[in-house]
Amino acid sequence: MVLFGNESSSKVDKNLDDCFILVSSDKKEFPISQQAIKHSKTLAQMISTLNISTNSDEKRIPVENVQGEHLDLIVQWCEHHKEEPVLEDEKSIDQDFKIPDWDRTFLEVDNETLFHFICAANYLDIELLMIMACKTVALMAKGRTPEEMRVIFGVNVDEEEQLMMQTNAAPQVEIVEAEREE
């Protein structure tokens, strides 16, 4: 068994003859199968352009914009979906698309990790993961007030906006009863 990365939660057990090695920005290495790597249009194009194969002596592929902890999870996602066809574009997905149970559970992460998934999916051009992660964010916001969304997404209100909200708020009128003289 070959384990890569210092904190690899995937514990990938792979025959390295059939794998490429992705190297994260923090120099952690993760094996990924040929079938799984196809989900990343960026990596597939890089392999094709540079004529890299799993038989090559040098099959390490740098992924400079993704940290190891997130690349590990991206590899897990790609491996889980390796038997599925690659999504060519988002137009092929129905508007009523429901995130499958496995993916919904996979995407139940903190907001920062979800943000990193979206950035990594965008950089690696993993269309289906991008759609699922963005839909997860949309579902988090659905039916919420702006204030609730600020809390959920950790958005601080800047001073100018806070002043505007106070200025535009209905004036607070204090009603004082006058003493009546009789």
Confidence tier at 178 by pLDDT (50, 70, 90): low
Length of the chain: 182
CB 20 within 8 A of CB 124: no
Structural domain boundaries of the chain? 16-147
Q: What is the pLDDT of residue 86?
A: 85
pLDDT at 159 over 70: no
- Pairing verdict, β 19-24 and 60-63: parallel
Q: What is the pLDDT of residue 90?
A: 64
pTM above 0.75, yes or no: no
**Any idea which of 57-66, 98-107, 116-125 has the lowest mean pLDDT?**
57-66
Q: Measured in Å, how far apart are the chain's first and last C-alpha atoms?
A: 97
Return the structure tokens found at 18.
């059939």
Is 16-147 CATH 3.30.710.10? yes
What are the pLDDT digits (tens) for 26-82?
999 999 999 999 999 999 999 999 888 777 777 899 999 999 999 999 999 999 999
Q: What is the pLDDT of residue 9?
A: 38
CB 102 within 8 A of CB 37: no
Cα–Cα distance list, 174 to 8, 60, 82, 163, 171 (Å): 61, 71, 66, 21, 10
